[in-house]
């Protein structure tokens, strides 16, 4: 059973959160699924020096190239991916989900999803296939599924308010749990929006992954 993991770069501040990405992959393989990595072939919004936390002025990196670090080179451009080839899709978090896959980090309720990512996510939704959004990635759910979709980013009031303003039905959720919209077959979990360590993130991610696979 082949499933897609959509990455947004490599590194929590400007790309995919590495722990969340690896935990998602590990949970999927343990459950017997075959993950395949996808990412958009675009420039990152910016590059962050992960040691200082500051923008690395003058540097530019490509989301697909950086995502290949996590995927150990086995990754494809999401623009060339066909939703029909996958049983489900998983979106790990990290600021890349809100900076590269979308511009939620910069525009909030007025954000847009990167066109290739939106096409793929909507194709999954329209085919009635399940999806799992992790950490900050659930901020994209209202634009993919429309008004009323149940979603969680944990308990952060400001982010929850923005998700609600976009039409999502936000549900507060502890780090070790998840929220499921059974009608739309979409699952979300807070992960590092709340997790204080990798063990806490792992519990919620594995639970969300298994809940998503159960919807197939």
Catalytic residues: 135
d(C-alpha 158, C-alpha 164), whole Å: 10
d(C-alpha 22, C-alpha 134), whole Å: 12
State the distance between the two ends of the chain, measured CA to CA, in whole angstroms.
Answer: 10
Widest Cα–Cα separation across the chain: 46
Q: State the Cα torsion 12-114-150-26 to the nearest 10°.
A: -40
Residues 139 and 162 sit within 8 Å (Cβ to Cβ): yes
């Amino acid at each position: 059973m082949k499933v897609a993991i959509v990455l947004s770069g490599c590194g929590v501040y400007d790309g995919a959160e590495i722990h969340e990405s690896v935990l998602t992959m590990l949970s999927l393989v343990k459950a017997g699924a075959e993950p395949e990595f996808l990412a958009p072939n675009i420039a990152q919004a910016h590059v962050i020096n992960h040691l200082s936390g500051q923008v690395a002025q003058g540097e530019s990196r490509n989301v697909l190239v950086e995502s290949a670090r996590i995927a150990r080179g086995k990754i494809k451009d999401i623009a060339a991916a066909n939703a029909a080839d996958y049983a489900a899709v998983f979106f790990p978090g990290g600021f890349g989900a809100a900076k590269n896959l979308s511009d939620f980090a910069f525009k909030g309720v007025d954000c847009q999803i990167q066109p290739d990512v939106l096409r793929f996510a909507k194709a999954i939704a329209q085919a009635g296939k399940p999806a799992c959004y992790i950490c900050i990635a659930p901020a994209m759910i209202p634009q993919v599924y429309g008004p009323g979709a149940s979603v969680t980013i944990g308990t952060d009031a400001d982010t929850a308010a923005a998700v609600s303003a976009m039409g999502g039905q936000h549900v507060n959720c502890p780090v070790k749990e998840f929220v499921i919209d059974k009608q739309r077959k979409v699952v979300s979990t807070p992960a590092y929006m709340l997790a204080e360590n990798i063990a806490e993130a792992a519990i919620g991610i594995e639970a969300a992954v298994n809940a998503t696979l159960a919807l197939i």
